[in-house]
């Protein structure tokens, strides 16, 4: 009789710990932002998962699947903790005022399909860790301050091209796509 109780307790602990990682990551991101319109007011760090938060969509296992904060009038930096959102498929942060560099931890988002950072004020090299994102199909990088990864480390990503700087389908190098995106911008 005692063994099933402990099994439930252990499983519950792992479910809570998993949810807390995402809550902590997203809340750390929020703490780096100025949110003049209060769109992140539902982001409560005391909750077990972020599924009830505005602008977050979750899978049936209560893990964050999509972060949709495009055109939200946010100002700040991209927190490295975003790399802890291991089940994330889409990160939409276009048309805000994100500054600084892209954290190399974004390369941990191995399930990411869409990364939209278009129309922000990001600077510095695009991290070569984005080469880890084998499922990435759409990458909007239109920020005039972004540069190619450092010489000798051109990552390879699965994508093709488009006139909107979206990178979708096919297989080419990140450097070629970024060159296209930067040239278009």
Are 72 and 97 within 8 A, CB to CB? no
Are 100 and 77 within 8 A, CB to CB? yes
Strand, coil or helix: 91: strand
pLDDT by residue (tens digit) across 109-140?
Answer: 999 999 999 999 999 999 999 999 999 999 99
Whole-model pTM: value is: 0.75
Which residue, chain included where needed, has tokens 């997203």? 26
Domains in the chain and their CATH numbers? 2-184 (3.80.10.10)
Are 126 and 143 within 8 A, CB to CB? no
Single out the residue of 126, 1, 111, 6 nearest to residue 61, CA to CA.
Answer: 111
Q: How far apart are CA 113 and CA 136, in angstroms?
A: 4
pLDDT by residue (tens digit) across 51-89?
Answer: 999 999 999 999 999 999 999 999 999 999 999 999 999
């Amino acid at each position: 009789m005692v063994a099933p109780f402990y099994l439930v307790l252990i499983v519950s602990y792992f479910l809570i710990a998993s949810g807390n990682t995402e809550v902590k990551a997203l809340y750390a991101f929020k703490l780096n932002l100025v949110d003049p319109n209060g769109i992140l007011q539902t982001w409560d760090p005391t909750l077990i998962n972020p599924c009830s938060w505005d602008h977050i969509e979750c899978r049936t296992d209560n893990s964050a699947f999509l972060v949709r904060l495009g055109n939200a009038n946010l100002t700040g930096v991209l927190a490295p903790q975003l790399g802890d959102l291991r089940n994330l498929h889409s990160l939409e942060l276009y048309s805000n005022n994100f500054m600084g560099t892209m954290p190399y931890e974004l390369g941990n988002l191995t399930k990411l399909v869409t990364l939209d950072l278009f129309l922000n004020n990001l600077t510095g090299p695009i991290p070569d860790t984005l080469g880890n994102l084998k499922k990435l199909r759409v990458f909007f990088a239109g920020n005039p301050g972004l540069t190619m990864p450092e010489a000798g480390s051109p990552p390879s990503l699965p994508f093709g091209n488009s006139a909107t700087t979206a990178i979708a389908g096919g297989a080419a190098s990140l450097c070629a796509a970024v060159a296209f995106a930067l040239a278009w911008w």
